[in-house]
Amino acid sequence: MKTHWLKKEDNDTVVIFFAGWGQSPSFFSAFEAENKDVIMVYHYSNLVFDILMNEVENYKNKVIIAWSFGVHVAGLFTEVTSVDKLICLNGSFTPIHDTEGIPNAIYQGTYDQLTENNWKKFVFRICGSKELSDHFLKVSDRAIEDLKEELYFLGQLPQIKNTPKVNLSIIGNKDRIFPPKNLENHWANRSEHLIVDTIPHFGFSKYTNWDSLINCKAEVTW
Q: Which CATH number is associated with domain 2-214?
A: 3.40.50.1820
β-strand pairing of 168-172 with 85-89? parallel
Quote the pLDDT of residue 159.
96
| CA 131 – CA 128 distance, rounded (Å) | 9
Under a CB-based contact definition with an 8 Å cutoff, are residues 102 and 177 in contact?
A: yes
| CA 97 – CA 157 distance, rounded (Å) | 13
* Strand partners for 7: 38
| Residues 22-31: tens digit of each pLDDT | 999 999 998 9
Half-sphere exposure of 183 (CA within 13 A, CB side): 30
Give 157-164 contacts, CB < 8 A, sequence gap 24+: 157/47, 157/72, 157/73, 157/76, 158/76, 159/94, 160/72, 160/75, 160/76, 160/79, 160/93, 161/79, 162/79, 163/75, 163/93, 163/190, 164/75, 164/78, 164/79, 164/83, 164/86
* Strand partners for 3: 41
Give 158-164 contacts, CB < 8 A, sequence gap 24+: 158/76, 159/94, 160/72, 160/75, 160/76, 160/79, 160/93, 161/79, 162/79, 163/75, 163/93, 163/190, 164/75, 164/78, 164/79, 164/83, 164/86
Quote the pLDDT of residue 216.
85
Question: What parts of the chain have a pLDDT lower than 70?
Answer: 217-222
Phi and psi torsions of 201, nearest 5°: -55, -45
